[in-house]
Amino acid sequence: MDRAIIFDVDGTLAETEEGHREAFNTAFEQAGLAWSWDQDLYRRLLAVTGGKERIRYFIEDFGADGAPQDNLDEFIRALHAAKTTAYTELVGAGRLVLRPGVRELISTASECGYRLAIATTTTPANIDALLAATFGDAGQGLFEVICAGDSVPNKKPAPDVYLRTLEELGLPPGRCVAIEDSRNGLLAACAAGIPTIVTPSLYTGGENFEEAAMIAEHLAAVDFADIEKLFG
């Protein structure tokens, strides 16, 4: 089959951002920082994709105290590594489930011979933890291509991660459909020329999705036949 469905992870496969927010706050507490991101602040910080970039954004644009003047890169790297440990532990404890329709769509697409890929801003360890927690051992071989995190120079809304995914699939954008939850993700997929389905999530519900090929509350509300119509 020369068609592929490319899934975003956070907010699309599962409602993960509350787990990320909890993990950030755990890492801040472990580091002795008086930082705590509530939902209103986190919604604003989600304008920046990538956990390390989000921490830097908080320090530089929200006047956070406690970060060192020098070796800031190492400070952020270490803090984010602690966050990733906290996040993968809560995912491994079974705290997250797939969004409605995700498992069924993956199953139907696989049965129909569609190739499956992931294009995400998140850290690879987070994907491994989520796939193991939600698919068990079967999660390992489910996605033919996984492009994530720092593997590309520019994170969403830049198209880099989708362009890299297309390259690894060896497919043109018209033979793919992307599934996203956020405007940053929609812009990234559209900039790569990929028709995109948006299923808004907890933190993205009010965003502008005018470029989407389809908008649905969740994937359980989408007929596979309607997805097939989106392919060139």
CB closer to ligand XBP, 154 vs 229: 154
CB closer to ligand XBP, 70 vs 84: 84
Candidates 86, 143, 181, 196: give the one binding Mg ion (CB under 5 A). Answer: 181
Q: Catalytic: 181?
A: no
Is 175 within 8 Å of 181 (Cβ atoms)? no
Is 150 within 8 Å of 166 (Cβ atoms)? no
CB closer to ligand XBP, 19 vs 173: 19
The tokens for 47 are: 């304008």
- The residue number whose beta carbon is nearest to Mg ion equals 11
The binder of 199, among Mg ion, ligand XBP, none, by C-beta within 5 to 8 A per type, is none
CB closer to Mg ion, 10 vs 160: 10
Can residue 17 be called a binding residue for Mg ion (CB under 5 A)? no
Is 2 within 8 Å of 113 (Cβ atoms)? no
Can residue 11 be called a binding residue for Mg ion (CB under 5 A)? yes
CB closer to ligand XBP, 12 vs 115: 12
To ligand XBP, the closest distance from the beta carbon of 135 in angstroms equals 17
Q: Which stretch binds Mg ion (CB under 5 A): 55-63, 74-82, 162-170, 177-185?
A: 177-185
Q: Which stretch binds Mg ion (CB under 5 A): 64-72, 107-115, 179-187, 224-232?
A: 179-187
What DSSP letter does each residue of the chain carry, written as one string? ---EEEE--BTTTB--HHHHHHHHHHHHHHTT------HHHHHHHTTS-SHHHHHHHHHHHS--S---SSSHHHHHHHHHHHHHHHHHHHHHTT---BPTTHHHHHHHHHHTT-EEEEE-SS-HHHHHHHHHHHHGGGGTTT-SEEE-GGGSSS-TTSSHHHHHHHHHHT--GGGEEEEESSHHHHHHHHHTT--EEE---TTTTTS--TT-SEE-SSGGGS-HHHHHTT--
Binding site for ligand XBP (CB under 6 A): 8-11, 17, 20, 49-51, 120-123, 126, 156, 182, 185
Can residue 8 be called a binding residue for Mg ion (CB under 5 A)? yes
The binder of 126, among Mg ion, ligand XBP, none, by C-beta within 5 to 8 A per type, is ligand XBP
The alpha carbon torsion through 47, 52, 57, 59 (nearest 10 deg) reads 150
Q: Catalytic: 128?
A: no
Indicate which residue of 2, 10, 40, 181 is catalytic: 10
Q: Which stretch binds Mg ion (CB under 5 A): 31-39, 79-87, 143-151, 184-192?
A: 184-192
Active-site residues: which are they?
A: 8, 10
- Per CB under 5 A, residues contacting Mg ion are 8, 10-11, 181-182, 185
